[in-house]
Copies of this chain bind each other. A is one copy, B any other.
Amino acid sequence: NPISSDDDSKKFPTASVTGFFHLDAGWFSQDDLNRATLGDINDGLGFRRARLAAKGFVAEDIQYILEFDFAQSQARFVDVWMQINNTKLGNLRIGRFRQPFGMSELTSVRELPFLERPVTFTQTPFRQTGVMLFDTRPDESGTWAIAGYRFLSDNFGNVFADTGGYGMATRLTRIAFESGENRLVHFGVDYSYNDPGRGNIQLVSTNEIFLAQNPNLGPAGLSVLPIEGVTPFVNTGVLSVDEAQFLNFESAIALGRMAIQGEARWVQALLTSGERALFPGAYAQVRYMLTGEQIPYVKKNGVFGRIDPHSPWTTNGGSGALELVGRVSHIDLNDASIEGRRLTDFTAGLNWYLNANTKFQFNYIHSRLTDLSLGDSEANTFGVRAQLDF
């Protein structure tokens, strides 16, 4: 939605406003052992994300975005960066952005086939503040990206530390066996090295649904702490580390109306105690458009993109698009002296796209949790999302 300037002779800067919201509801059932392990998880309803952004160009090759999220009791930074396109070395991005690591991470949250990214989402640097060089190969047969940043940034893009506090990430993707539009095989590899500024990292995840609220319900209603939400199923706690390395392999098969995608990753933490801890995770998912639309593979970014229904919903007929999705994901945070639990999630989902900008998502998640002390337990979760973006 670019805004036109009324001074037509002045082409730049441009500015447009974009945004979206995720309104989620979740209902939980836990077996007794799961409740003993995690405590009772409350059902909930709330805005998972509610974002506004201004973006545009200040010159032919210099673009920007300032994006903020107002959900969960505080206005926080999302993407805030400038980007200089087409330098001799590639495109150069400076600011706070998703680091080049992970196919599911680099898929826009506006275009997730499930309510949340898989449990492997905790095994990534994700948004940090730094500098990235990246580009697509001239024949669009792959992408590359390499970034350096200060680590670990807070929710507002800041890092403050004398010793360490640096990291780097890189991603390479290739297309193989292309046989027509959206019919191809994708491979990718990602690596990240991190020396956290305060010597701490933490791996933590819910069972792929996230609901949170400010528990202060009084009319004053202005206090912000603490946040309550879905209890983490797996959690290393805060780890004192000298460094943490992340390695990831991506693969995907695009088959027109169907897409298969999987990643396997490892976090190796060098604890200040001298121990090395290795935390593996993986997921595989399949998507199938019941109504026949293509699941577009975006060559520029090496990820899948937005569904555009053949027959958008209208008051006079038109019913939108339907998609069936399934996923299995796994993470093991037990290693060395760390008992962070092990989780396997099985998810079945249905997505109803009213049009390219409106969808409803339904997820049923069956979770199998292993606690080294308490044993194996199970939980089932039903989640719904309403999403509108512009």
Q: Are B13 and A2 in contact (CB under 8 A)?
A: no
- Interface membership of chain A positions 34-51, coded 1 if the CB is closer than 8 angstroms to chain B and 0 otherwise: 000000101111110010
Q: Are B224 and A74 in contact (CB under 8 A)?
A: yes
- Given the complex, which residues of B lie within 8 Å of A161, measured CB to CB? 42-44
Q: Look across to chain B and name the residue whose beta carbon is closest to the beta carbon of A312.
A: B59
The answer to whether residues A73 and B222 also contact, given A158-B45, A160-B211 and a CB cut-off of 8 A, is yes
- Given the complex, which residues of B lie within 8 Å of A12, measured CB to CB? 355, 357
Binds B, one of A79-87, A243-251, A287-295: A79-87
- Residue A159 at the chain B interface, CB threshold 8 Å: yes
Q: Are B3 and A16 in contact (CB under 8 A)?
A: yes
The answer to whether residues A17 and B217 also contact, given A80-B47, A82-B386, A354-B62 and a CB cut-off of 8 A, is no
- Residue A6 at the chain B interface, CB threshold 8 Å: yes
- Residue A319 at the chain B interface, CB threshold 8 Å: no
- Residue A15 at the chain B interface, CB threshold 8 Å: yes
The answer to whether residues A212 and B314 also contact, given A95-B21, A388-B58 and a CB cut-off of 8 A, is no
The answer to whether residues A315 and B87 also contact, given A214-B156, A357-B58 and a CB cut-off of 8 A, is yes
Binds B, one of A186-194, A196-204, A361-369: A196-204
- Residue A129 at the chain B interface, CB threshold 8 Å: yes
Which residues of A (1-18) have their CB < 8 Å from a CB of B?
A: 1-6, 12-18
Query: How many identical subunits does the complex contain?
Result: 3
Whole-angstrom distance between the Cβ of A357 and the nearest chain B Cβ: 4
Q: Are B314 and A95 in contact (CB under 8 A)?
A: no
- Given the complex, which residues of B lie within 8 Å of A52, measured CB to CB? 52, 54, 66, 68
Q: Are B1 and A14 in contact (CB under 8 A)?
A: yes
Which residues of A (209-254) have their CB < 8 Å from a CB of B?
A: 211-229, 238
- Residue A64 at the chain B interface, CB threshold 8 Å: yes
Which residues of A (279-319) have their CB < 8 Å from a CB of B?
A: 312-315
Whole-angstrom distance between the Cβ of A120 and the nearest chain B Cβ: 14
Distance of A150 Cα from B56 Cα, bound (Å): 38
Interchain residue pairs A-B with the least CB separation, the first 6? A158-B213, A46-B158, A13-B390, A58-B357, A75-B75, A44-B160
